[in-house]
Amino acid sequence: MRFYTQNHKHYCGIDLHARFMYLCVLNADGEKLLHRNIKAEPETFLRAVAPYREDLVVAVECIFTWYWLADLCADEGIGFVLGHALYMKAIHGGKAKNDRIDAYKIAVLLRGGTLPQAYVYPKAMRATRDLLRRRNHLMRKRAELLAHVQNTVSQYNLPPLGDRVDRKSQRSSLPEHFPDPIVRRSIELDVQLITVYDDLLRPLELELTRLAKSHDAFAYHLLRSVPGIGKILSLVLLYEIDDIRRFPRVQEFLSYSRLVKCQKSSNGKVSGYSGKKIGNVHLKWAFGEAAVLFLRNNADGQRYVERLAKKHGKGKALSILAARLGRAVYTLLQRRQPFDQTRFFAQG
């Protein structure tokens, strides 16, 4: 958890919504200078804070509407801090909650140096990252359709599908596998939708690859040097990490990637674990997929996981491998050197 601890003359806490925003401006002594609701518009916001522009810093909770405000503050030379939503919830919880109270509490946390920070993703690559996330969302919808086809086969106790249904050339005769005309119609809908997704996703992936190579072609190819990290996973890692230098230590990177368990203890007694949802879910997914794909046609990797599984079980063994891949990715991006599998297993 990183806190914003810089001192300013004016502190502005904002409870931001899609159409309105509640502002609370405090001076260095904690006195309220402004506390009111305004429209979420650039001109209205600038007029409201105009008397307090001297050494002003603005803080807002990390929700889906922060993009325009961060860009506006950057253009106007106003300090901007993005608050970590989950950490903030744990810090400033109270009996009563409304927009007026939330804006004041954000300003107080900002002034007191106890506002937990989230990463302000750079504007230049933000839209590409969101496009990649949209691609992954559509791919999951496509996977749901494929799973429905397979589940329908099991549901009606039909013979297994011999062909791979994810390949377009082998899907044309797929509905004929189902004798019931109503069930066949359902499968036809699945096949049609899968085809639509295929036609949308192929050019999108080519465009994303082109953009990634224009962003940092060397890092993109470095990530692909890791067994199990292919075209899509390297794109996810590249855009979700952005700049590896924002993580001073590998432990912070692993925590951000949700690859560590956060233990809760008191007086030497462990009471459980927490913080499972704090971090980047996309990196967690990417490293989980990479750990499974790492084992394909990799005898050294399979032996390594077998040794771990005897001690910890198969699930935890894969989690350990995912964390080790996270360390490897951190190191190769820091040193700008390709993956060395011999060294990877020697350190393990």
Taking only the tens place, the pLDDT of each residue in 268-304 is 888 877 777 889 999 999 999 999 999 999 999 999 9
Decide if 79 contacts 58 (C-beta within 8 A): yes
Q: Determine, yes or no, domain membership for 177.
A: yes
pLDDT at 274: 76
Residues 109 and 159 in one domain: no
pLDDT at 86: 85
Q: Determine, yes or no, domain membership for 222.
A: no
Q: Determine, yes or no, domain membership for 203.
A: yes
Residues 237 and 338 in one domain: yes
Q: Determine, yes or no, domain membership for 273.
A: no
End position of a domain, from candidates 116, 147, 178: 116
C-alpha–C-alpha distance, residues 232 and 126, integer Å = 17
End position of a domain, from candidates 83, 116, 149: 116
Residues 106 and 130 in one domain: no
At 117, the pLDDT band (50, 70, 90 cuts) reads very high
Q: Determine, yes or no, domain membership for 250.
A: yes
Residues 161 and 56 in one domain: no
Q: Determine, yes or no, domain membership for 267.
A: no
Residues 39 and 129 in one domain: no
C-alpha–C-alpha distance, residues 123 and 126, integer Å = 5
End position of a domain, from candidates 116, 143, 177: 116
Residues 14 and 102 in one domain: yes
pLDDT at 89: 79
Domain count, the chain: 3
pLDDT at 195: 92
Q: Determine, yes or no, domain membership for 272.
A: no
**Mean pLDDT of the 251-272 span:** 87
SS3 157: coil
Residues of 222-258 as b/e, b for ≥16 C-beta within 10 angstroms? bbbebbbbeebbbbbbbbbbbebeebeebeebbbbbb
Phi, psi for residue 39 in degrees, rounded to 5:
-75, 145
Residues 112 and 129 in one domain: no
Q: Closest Cα to residue 234, out of 283, 164, 269, 277?
A: 283
Residues 247 and 183 in one domain: no
Residues 102 and 35 in one domain: yes
Which domain range does residue 300 map to? Answer: 233-261+278-347
Residues 153 and 190 in one domain: yes
Residues 318 and 255 in one domain: yes
Q: Determine, yes or no, domain membership for 170.
A: yes
At 101, the pLDDT band (50, 70, 90 cuts) reads very high
Taking only the tens place, the pLDDT of each residue in 24-80 is 999 999 999 999 999 999 999 999 999 999 999 999 999 889 999 999 999 999 999
Residues 33 and 12 in one domain: yes
